[in-house]
Amino acid sequence: MQEFVQVDAFADRPFCGNPAAVLVMDAPADAAWMQAVASEMNLSETAFCHPLPGMEKGNVGEWELRWFTPTVEVDLCGHATLATAHVLATEHGAEGEMGFHTRSGRLSAIVEDDTIRLDFPVDVIESCEVGTAMSDAVGTRVLAAAKGATDLLVEVGGAAEVRSCNPDMAGIAGLAPRGVIVTAACDDRDDMDVVSRFFAPRTGIPEDPV
């Protein structure tokens, strides 16, 4: 029986943050089976990893890592990579640097004491035109926008607009290959700099829990 661990990433207490399921396997699994498991988990991402040939569980080494939403496999996922590194460190004794071989290339996670540092590829973003259709899709007036390889980043008027916007999911799906980040400077709390929400209906995630 294949075991899994559910991890709440970016959290300092249970039932917060961004949850991901992690399955540490001995060998590659069938993609259809992994997709079925991810659908059953019904989390924004489920991560599947196994050691590359010559590596054993518990050793610092190289791993293949894949991520699935409830509906599709995705090229890159930050919180599920962090969750995977945490599980390998706490449940399988991994230390130092772990290499993850993914559809986005080799990623690294470095475990130092009680922290995990991730090394991810840089996404180059370019400003793009803001139109009425974009604001209508987001559900509030968009002030500025920039597009990366997979996502659209839009700035709105303030934290209240981020929290209260009610996007049109069909419209959001037409704005970017993966999803739309709605963000603003946090103007109503002193302990935060930025407020953001992430919508990715094209990958089966109407809104990411984070």
Which positions are annotated as active-site residues? 45
DSSP for the chain, written as a single string: ----EEEEET-SSTT-SEEEEEEE-SS---HHHHHHHHHHHTSSEEEEEEEPTT--TTSS-EEEEEEE-SS-EES--HHHHHHHHHHHHHHS---EEEEEEETTEEEEEEEETTEEEEE------EE----HHHHHHHTS-EEEEEE-SSEEEEEES-HHHHHH----HHHHHTT-SSEEEEEEE--S-TT-SEEEEEEBGGGTBSS---
